[in-house]
Amino acid sequence: MGIDFSSNHRMWSAGRGNSNVWIAEVERRLSRPVLVSLKRVQHLRGNGHPFDRLIQYLRETDFDAAAIDAPFSVPAEYLQARTHSDLLELIGKAKLIDDRTFPCGRDFVDLVVEGRTTTTKKPLRRTEEYWRDREVNVRSTLWAGPRGGAASSGLSKAPVRTSVVSPKRLELFSPPFS
């Protein structure tokens, strides 16, 4: 099972017909992964906000593995003495605006950086450095400007690039470290 968190908070709206938050289900057939279902988060069963339906789906679905196209951490130097659990707790206490289910990008970055000046405009985790060194376009989890790597603040007018998964061919890979 895979989840692609593309774009900003508007893509999570219940009635959003062109959302690009996708849920993919994969089965192994003849030693190969096969895409068996691809649907928008709004099409998950249940009532309530699509984010709540995703939580329900993750709790109730039996799958061998799950992958998500969203970072769960920040560059190590910004964790400071915190653990990953501490980081999740910090973000969990973030002020939410409107009907959003997660903080906007700028608030996320401000919470993590805590008033310090970043050593570079777009600090990278080791995994992003790995792929950048191989000329893959990567985004920083601590950048909330246009086309930000952290959750977009929704203020950017920059177009959002999305990846299209072909049901005919699904290639799976993972970087050597997270």
Q: How does pLDDT run along the chain (178 residues), one tens digit per residue? A: 888 776 678 888 888 888 888 899 998 899 898 999 999 999 999 888 898 899 899 899 888 888 887 777 888 888 877 888 888 888 888 888 877 777 888 888 888 888 788 888 899 999 899 999 999 988 888 888 776 444 433 333 333 333 333 333 333 333 333 3
Q: What integer pLDDT is reported at residue 71 of this predicted model?
A: 72
Q: What integer pLDDT is reported at residue 173 of this predicted model?
A: 34
Beta-ladder partners of 68: 3
- CB burial readout 8-24, b (16+ within 10 A) else e: bbebbeeeeeebbbbbb
What DSSP state is assigned to residue 152? B
The answer to whether the beta carbons of residues 86 and 93 sit under 8 Å apart is: no
Strand order in the sheet with 2-5: 32-40, 21-29, 2-5, 67-69
The answer to whether the beta carbons of residues 106 and 142 sit under 8 Å apart is: no
Q: What integer pLDDT is reported at residue 7 of this predicted model?
A: 66
